[in-house]
Amino acid sequence: MQKQSAEPVIMLVLVSILALSISAKTQKDSSHSALPKLPQPSGTFGVGRVGFDWIDPNRAADMAEDRGPHSELMIYVWYPTEATGKEVRGVLLPGAKEIDSTMGVSDSLKAKLFGGNWPLVVAGGITSHAADNAPIAKSPKTFPVVLFSPGAFGTSFQYSSAIEDLVSHGYMVAAIEHTSEVFAVVFLDGKVHVYSAARIPKQAIPSPGSTKEEYEAKLEEWYRHNVDVRAADISFVLDKLIELNRNAGSQFSRRLDLDHVGVVGHSRGGWSAIVACRRDERLKACVNEDGNAGGQGLQYPEAPIPKQPILYVEVSPVLKPGTTADDWIVLKQLHLTADEWVQRWHETVNREFTSFPRGGYFVELKTSNVEHYSFSDEVHFQAAKYGAKEKGQSALHNLRLTEDITRTFLDEALKNEKQTKLHDDSEMTIKHFGPGN
């Protein structure tokens, strides 16, 4: 009988040990990260979503000439559906694969968006609770409307949790992909529009040798241009929603309560929301979520005083010296301490809110670990990516807090529901302006 060599057996044992070692390491590594998930909407409705491609023949394209001579926008209408109890695993970002394969899309932005989980977004690993083209809920007869404007260079899909939560409580949300600023967007014809700094008009860029004052004036002029375009986008979208509501062939025919329309925006979108309200009285409530550009989050020269109630939510303190080197430079140039700068800003807030006929709420968030992007899905997505469990719990808490504040205000302003949540506590300081205060 031929003697069997021991070498294959030894090799098999070594391979098995190595495989077990790799498996254990993989399991250990996976325990430090988790697949990011959107939190479950807290309301009783399901969530539906449909996209529209709308062209404004009365406005020229702004930094989007590749789409033609006139302004063109992708709008996603999110709306209440009948709750079925079944799990919905919808697409988080429509056209993510097309965007990923398109030349010119900023790699640095892709690396940062969605908490650094761009590959998962493209692969469909992170899902939405929205069912595309699902039937709208049968009751009530109409739903109040909210228009949503995201932060600079961002997409409204970074705020899916906040939008879904509003919809689950009986709001229709028209989320705007601002073509002039969104990092990339896929239109219904399948073509991808990409943001490019090369399209910025030359007159918006300070010339070489400009003084500090000239530079700041040019920069503010450019910011104001962006906000003007966004505010016009908001009013145009409202025009189209009115048409949609009147269209007997539309799934939304007579389902929009256009007497109760609000606008919500984060960062530059928040600033734009205030400007839109100053110019368009059809908007009945305005929310600015941490949109303060050099104290311009509430002010806007030559624009009418807003007649709507205003909610301004701010991460406190508004200026955090030491976060960036520029903070100290700004303070030095203004000959102010950080406390003096914040005091000056609060004086502006008091003056502006006092001038608003309907007043509103100024909310300073003081809760632990809250930051500028706590209004979006970015922070808790990032925590999941790096397995930061405590940070993830804190991020979800802060996200829910910001959602509750905004929804409570809208419930009061658009649904005439008495609110009991907007009062001082350990997580926020609130000033209520207006009649009777």
Q: What is the pLDDT of residues 299-308, one digit of tens each?
A: 676 778 889 9
Q: What is the pLDDT of residue 27?
A: 39
Question: In angstroms, rounded to a whole number, what is the distance separating the alpha carbons of residues 160 and 145?
Answer: 16
pLDDT in tens, 227-274: 999 999 999 999 999 999 999 999 999 999 999 999 999 999 999 999
What is the pTM assigned to this prediction? 0.88
HSE (side-chain half, CA atoms, 13 Å) at 284 = 16
Position 212 scores a pLDDT of 65
What are the beta bridge partners of residue 75? 52, 176
Residue with tokens 């807290």: 42
CA-nearest of 174, 96, 172, 99 to 128 is 96
Pair 287, 309: CB distance under 8 Å? no
In sequence order, what are the residues at sequence separation of 6 or more whose Cβ sits closer than 8 angstroms to the Cβ of residue 82?
45, 46, 135, 137, 138
Q: Is the pLDDT of residue 400 over 50?
A: yes
pLDDT-based confidence at residue 293 (cuts at 50, 70, 90):
low
Per-residue pLDDT tens over the stretch 320-375: 544 444 555 556 666 777 777 778 778 888 888 888 888 899 999 999 999 999 99
Question: Is the predicted pLDDT of residue 93 greater than 50, yes or no?
Answer: yes
Contact 299, 278 (CB under 8 A): no
Q: What pLDDT, on the 0 to 100 scale, is given for residue 319?
A: 56
| pLDDT at residue 352, rounded to an integer | 82
What is residue 13's predicted lDDT score, i.e. its pLDDT?
A: 38
Contacts of 369 (CB under 8 A, 6+ apart): 391, 394, 395, 398
Rg (alpha carbons) of the chain, rounded to whole number: 24
Query: According to the per-residue pLDDT averaged within each range, which of 6-20, 125-139, 184-198 is highest?
Result: 125-139
CA dist 85 and 105 (Å) reads 38
- Does the structure show a pLDDT above 60 at 21? no
Looking at the chain, the whole-number percentage of residues with pLDDT higher than 90 is 58
